[in-house]
A = this chain, B = another copy of it.
Amino acid sequence: MTAAQLTLVQIDNYGPWTVTPEPRREMDLQTLQSRLFADMAQYIGNRGGYVFFTRFDNMVAVTNGLDRRDHELLQESVGNRFPVTVSLGVGVDGVPIDALETATERVQAAGSAQSSDRSEALAGEFRDPEGADDGDVHIAHFDVNDATGKYTDRLNEFDSFINIEHGYASLMKYMREEHGALSFFVGGDNVIAVCPDLTYDEYMGAIDHVADDVDVQLKVGVGSGESPHEAGYAAKHALEDCRYEGTLVEFA
């Protein structure tokens, strides 16, 4: 039984801050956002979780293995080192989108993303560590077949990017609508999806859909585990298997 624990990380009142008293230098904002994400990736990642930059002012994390105290400490540490604070909402569900729905509602209930009254809200439920098992998290790691040969070494970078981006846009929509799975672009030609327990045919269905829809050929490795890192690491190995075997879907 899948039991994904999803955390929404939302910077408090960020939009107004970026233009007060005057618009701030864009490259400083980009630096701030990417370093905040990097710190999240280290903190959550070395506890076995995964975090995705999403929109940067809102980040989505899979946090199986992190409890309330871990979340509190993350908030405290960000508040001590950055000029902004973050609110956190947490939910647990067999279907990732439902877990995130719960997580988001908890942050929204504490106040608007652009309210100066809300600061460091934290609300949610956490996966009972006693019940945790290696079927809790399913990660699918997609990449584009021969992206270097087909795009990077042949097209200008923006046209390469458009191809990858449209493959991603197509996949994210399909996986969300068909399976309640959350797919995130993680750089290069890679997409990592947090999924319910899906079959070979369901993954083939996704790959076929993207090929038909936007003519981008994906392959995917799938792994499961008690934590996102365990599931994701198994998925990476499965994806290496695809590479060596010339297959499109491999399970760890």
Closest to A183 in B: B158
Asked whether any CB of chain B lies closer than 8 Å to the CB of A229, the reply is yes
Check if A148 sits within 8 Å of B27, measured CB to CB: no
Asked whether any CB of chain B lies closer than 8 Å to the CB of A116, the reply is no
Check if A24 sits within 8 Å of B55, measured CB to CB: no
Check if B38 sits within 8 Å of A35, measured CB to CB: yes
Closest to A53 in B: B34
List B contacts of A14 (CB < 8 A). 188
Asked whether any CB of chain B lies closer than 8 Å to the CB of A41, the reply is yes
How many chain A residues touch the partner (CB < 8 A)? 86
Asked whether any CB of chain B lies closer than 8 Å to the CB of A43, the reply is yes
Question: Known: A42-B42, A157-B54. Is A77-B162 also a contact (CB below 8 A)?
Answer: no
Check if B25 sits within 8 Å of A233, measured CB to CB: yes
Check if B76 sits within 8 Å of A25, measured CB to CB: yes
For the complex formed, measure the closest distance between the CB of A171 and the CB atoms of chain B, giving whole angstroms.
Answer: 11
Interface members, chain A 199-248 (any B CB < 8 Å): 229, 232-233, 236-237, 240
Question: Known: A83-B83, A112-B153, A153-B113. Is A162-B176 also a contact (CB below 8 A)?
Answer: yes
In the assembled complex, the Cα of A108 lies from the Cα of B42 at a distance in Å of 29
Asked whether any CB of chain B lies closer than 8 Å to the CB of A57, the reply is yes
Check if B162 sits within 8 Å of A172, measured CB to CB: yes
Interface members, chain A 6-36 (any B CB < 8 Å): 8, 10, 14-15, 19, 23-35
List B contacts of A23 (CB < 8 A). 233, 236-237, 240
In the assembled complex, the Cα of A108 lies from the Cα of B76 at a distance in Å of 33
For the complex formed, measure the closest distance between the CB of A116 and the CB atoms of chain B, giving whole angstroms.
Answer: 13
Asked whether any CB of chain B lies closer than 8 Å to the CB of A179, the reply is no
List B contacts of A46 (CB < 8 A). 27, 43, 73-74, 77
